[in-house]
Chain A
Amino acid sequence: MTQAAAQFATLPFATLAERARSVCAAATPRTTDNGQPFLLVPAAELPALAKFLRDDAALRFDALSDLTGFDLLKYPKAETPDAIAVLYLLFSYRHRHRLALRVLAPRALCTVPTVSALWPAALYFEREVFDLLGVTFTGHPSLHRIMNPADWEGHPLRKDYVYPDAYHGVPHLREGQHFETNPRRAGDPPPPAAAPKPPGGHA
């Protein structure tokens, strides 16, 4: 391996995590269910850690590949079901290594500091997470809905979202239909009978 190639060698996750923990000891390395490593970061520590990850010469995460989130409610393996997870996927074009961060925002105070000042790509990503999951990114210059109409109510990707019946008088479903995820009300049609299982099946 030439010296130039060695300079851009990909660092493993353990090295990246150790380097990140030198400025943010509260960040804990974890793995997802399918073995993908990530750093669990407290929300308060996120701005300082993100700035370090971007500016440190050995790390140099110059790109925010993705910023998304999901609701942990009804997720059976969740340690903190009453929270919404925000995911940050970082990539370094300089060193060709990647790192995943995760921040848990409790549903009662669903607030995470913005990283849009560090990576402008986060401007739209954070609007999407705000629109669909209701996470408020403090410090975002214009945090408003990006996909749903501006007068939409609720955040559709939350697991306890109740589907509205109509939007400006136009019903979402035809008469006699029912959103299966909504709690049933008086007058709703009965739930459809479960389809019979085919004979045989897997051993």
Chain B
Amino acid sequence: MADTPLPPGALPPGTPPPAGTAPPDRPGNREDQQIHLTAVDEFLAWGKENSLFYLLFATACCGIELMQAGGPRYDIDRLGMIPRATPRQADLMIVAGTITHKMAGRVRMLWEQMTEPRWVVSMGSCANSGGPFSKWSYSVLNGIDKYVPVDIYIPGCPPRPEALIDGVMALRERVRRYRTLGVRDREPHVVAGADAPFGCHFPKDAPPGARS
């Protein structure tokens, strides 16, 4: 690079600009000062939002879609989501599948082992409400939200990976608004897919036969 000739009129790097042409003297505005000013809370939220490590945990066929979302086609790694094999390193629990009464206590225990701040995504009809087992089964829990607080509900039986990614994007909105140092407000639950552009829902005015 040292041998590269500079364009005519350009100054070598590191040279202070001539007097009278410098922008207002604020840090970060000069090319040699790559500084970005932000609030600490927003910076922490930015880091959390882009490193949502999720607990490697699935109980039914939704787990197949969860694995598919982690595969090369959907590649949920590009959102900074990496599976963790222990709840102590996980930020996010994706409850993927049917939860029986016997399993619910174990789910609660895993959730309690996660460090704050922690988020829960309820994936699929079974985790949302018991799904096809909600009316006829003595052993299946009617929704994991009776045991752990759920941030995002993703409808579907099972949801496609697009729907899961859509739910994750909705969760990222919540994570972005999370305040580590400031005052935190309790937010209402969000159902994923209500205004999603793809994946888990269809246009409200589409005829029934248009679903493919």
Verify if A171 is at the interface (C-beta below 8 Å from B).
yes
Contact-residue size bin, chain B (C-beta under 8 Å from the other chain):
10 to 19
Interface members, chain B 92-135 (any A CB < 8 Å): 101-102, 104, 134-135
Verify if A13 is at the interface (C-beta below 8 Å from B).
no
Q: Are A172 and B138 in contact (CB under 8 A)?
A: yes
Q: Among the listed B104, B134, B137, which residue makes an inter-chain contact with A170, where contact means beta carbons less than 8 Å apart?
A: B104
Chain A: how many interface residues by the 8 Å CB criterion?
A: 16
The SS class assigned to the B binding surface is loop
Instruction: Give chain A residues whose Cβ lies under 8 Å from the Cβ of B142.
Output: 170-174
Verify if A177 is at the interface (C-beta below 8 Å from B).
yes
Instruction: Give chain A residues whose Cβ lies under 8 Å from the Cβ of B59.
Output: none
B41 CB to closest chain A CB, in angstroms?
37
A48 CB to closest chain B CB, in angstroms?
38
Verify if A70 is at the interface (C-beta below 8 Å from B).
no
Interface members, chain A 112-133 (any B CB < 8 Å): none
* A156 and B139 in contact, given A167-B101, A170-B101 (Cβ under 8 angstroms): yes
Chain B residue with Cβ nearest A161: B138
Cα distance A163–B135 when bound, in Å?
Answer: 12
CB-based closest 9 A-B pairs? A167-B101, A149-B102, A163-B138, A170-B146, A156-B138, A172-B138, A177-B135, A174-B142, A149-B101
Pull 16 A–B residue pairs with CB atoms less than 8 Å apart, ordered by A.
Answer: A147-B139, A148-B102, A148-B139, A149-B101, A149-B102, A156-B138, A170-B142, A170-B146, A171-B142, A172-B137, A172-B142, A173-B134, A173-B135, A177-B135, A179-B136, A180-B136
